[in-house]
A = this chain, B = another copy of it.
């Protein structure tokens, strides 16, 4: 029962993905090390790497010191070999990034949000923004892989529509992916902000192959994305990681999700800002995110009320983090999203403190907790990462299609 060796036919979801992923995680690595890391043979590594070099994705970058024989030829991704566009649609605004193979951002800009505009106009604007900037920064259109569009809220269906409650309800029936695909002429992927952010962190953060990694995302709402062994964990309906809608008070205030007393209602930026307003704290008042940022600055200066408000929020978030860590047995938890870009340093110690005592497997391994190095544009970077992964290192589709003739689960009343 050895776990590492895949044996004949065990099928590595294409060794290509495995190898590319290990190079990504390692930064610089030789072919021998690749054979050890992937469990493939030297022969396979050799041919696959050659193909990657021919495609331009990988370059040879000098040789290592000899260890008593032929020195290793070192391999790296060529970051500039491919690019992808990430678009984060949010009420507050639209954030664009162009990211390269290494997940690094080569261009980044923001535009006003869609508001109540007709989706068709918004799509036209997006297409214009993309082609203009692609031309300006000199990215080879031949090597532009696609566009990843990310929005808050759950996805209605995997391809074509997004559903971002409570705002943007008039988008619910709009085939967003197809429309952008037609307008831009590139493949378009759609996903949830938290999910995409997690993949962006994986792709750009040097996360080791095989790590179990979650991104705790706080933008307007609170959610989490989950990456297991480099693949997004989606659950049944792509709604996995909805930690913001776990109930902490059955009689608590109503949440837009239809439930009551969700963590988001107590700890989300909107709630924190609302309480600050109740407490009479002066805030810009233009938008929740600006108010939240102001509050974070005040707390960083040590002002008492903001410190208390954010501390309360942080304790809820720490509880959510503990749940994620214990349920998923995490290696790594990244705090990301616009809110953590402003207030991450206030939340981080609270989360770490909670996990240092409350992580069940702490005797076996740590959970590393970090703040994303690009928290404010994490969702857009994630959008780009979706494209990079889909085009360069495609994974087995999470769930196989299930035919309707399958036996149903044997009764049991079920839930309304």
Q: Measured between alpha carbons, how far is A408 from B209 in the docked complex, in Å?
A: 10
In the complex, what's the smallest C-beta–C-beta distance from A382 to chain B, in angstroms? 17
Is A151 close to B, CB under 8 A? Answer: no
Q: Measured between alpha carbons, how far is A407 from B187 in the docked complex, in Å?
A: 31
Q: Are A361 and B237 interface neighbours, CB within 8 A?
A: yes
CB < 8 Å neighbour of A210 from B38, B399, B405: B399
Is A47 close to B, CB under 8 A? Answer: no
Which residues of chain B are near A189, meaning CB under 8 Å? 1
Q: Are A10 and B4 interface neighbours, CB within 8 A?
A: no
Among A359-373, those with CB < 8 Å from B are 359-362, 364-371, 373
Is A324 close to B, CB under 8 A? Answer: yes
Q: Measured between alpha carbons, how far is A8 from B405 in the docked complex, in Å?
A: 26
Q: Are A409 and B205 interface neighbours, CB within 8 A?
A: yes
Q: Are A229 and B399 interface neighbours, CB within 8 A?
A: yes
Binds B, one of A96-104, A122-130, A239-247, A278-286: A239-247
Is A265 close to B, CB under 8 A? Answer: no
Q: Are A212 and B235 interface neighbours, CB within 8 A?
A: yes
Q: Are A415 and B240 interface neighbours, CB within 8 A?
A: no
Q: Are B1 and A10 interface neighbours, CB within 8 A?
A: no
Contact with B along A194-238 (1 / 0, CB 8 A): 000000000001111111100000000000100011000111111
Among A377-416, those with CB < 8 Å from B are 390, 394, 396-403, 405-416
Which residues of chain B are near A143, meaning CB under 8 Å? none
In the complex, what's the smallest C-beta–C-beta distance from A119 to chain B, in angstroms? 20
Closest to A38 in B: B400
Chain A contact patch, size range: 35 or more
Which residues of chain B are near A396, meaning CB under 8 Å? 6, 10-13
Q: Are B368 and A415 interface neighbours, CB within 8 A?
A: yes
Task: Please give 10 more A-B residue pairs, beta carbons under 8 A apart, in addition to A26-B405, A29-B405, A206-B408.
Answer: A3-B399, A25-B406, A206-B407, A211-B236, A229-B399, A236-B365, A237-B364, A243-B326, A368-B415, A370-B409
- Indicate whether A416 sits within 8 Å of B242 (C-beta atoms), given known contacts A235-B329, A331-B236, A406-B37: no
Closest to A21 in B: B400
Q: Sample 20 A-B pairs with CB under 8 A, ordered by A number.
A: A1-B390, A3-B158, A11-B14, A18-B400, A33-B405, A37-B401, A205-B409, A206-B407, A206-B409, A207-B409, A210-B399, A229-B400, A235-B361, A240-B328, A246-B323, A260-B357, A359-B415, A362-B415, A367-B415, A373-B410
Q: Are B412 and A369 interface neighbours, CB within 8 A?
A: yes
Is A138 close to B, CB under 8 A? Answer: no
Q: Are B1 and A364 interface neighbours, CB within 8 A?
A: no
Closest to A224 in B: B327
Q: Are B328 and A247 interface neighbours, CB within 8 A?
A: no
Is A154 close to B, CB under 8 A? Answer: yes
Q: Are A330 and B29 interface neighbours, CB within 8 A?
A: no
Q: Are A326 and B245 interface neighbours, CB within 8 A?
A: yes
Closest to A14 in B: B9
Q: Measured between alpha carbons, how far is A246 from B328 in the docked complex, in Å?
A: 12
Residues of A participating in the B interface, judged by any CB pair closer than 8 Å: 1, 3-4, 6, 9-14, 18, 22, 25-27, 29, 33, 36-39, 154, 158-159, 187, 189, 205-212, 224, 228-229, 233-243, 245-247, 250, 257-260, 319, 322-324, 326-332, 348, 352, 354-362, 364-371, 373, 390, 394, 396-403, 405-416
Q: Measured between alpha carbons, how far is A369 from B411 in the docked complex, in Å?
A: 9
In the complex, what's the smallest C-beta–C-beta distance from A29 to chain B, in angstroms? 7
- Indicate whether A233 sits within 8 Å of B237 (C-beta atoms), given known contacts A406-B209, A409-B207: no
Q: Are A407 and B352 interface neighbours, CB within 8 A?
A: no
- Indicate whether A414 sits within 8 Å of B327 (C-beta atoms), given known contacts A11-B13, A154-B364, A236-B361: no
| Most chain B CB atoms below 10 A, which of A332, A348, A369, A412 | A412
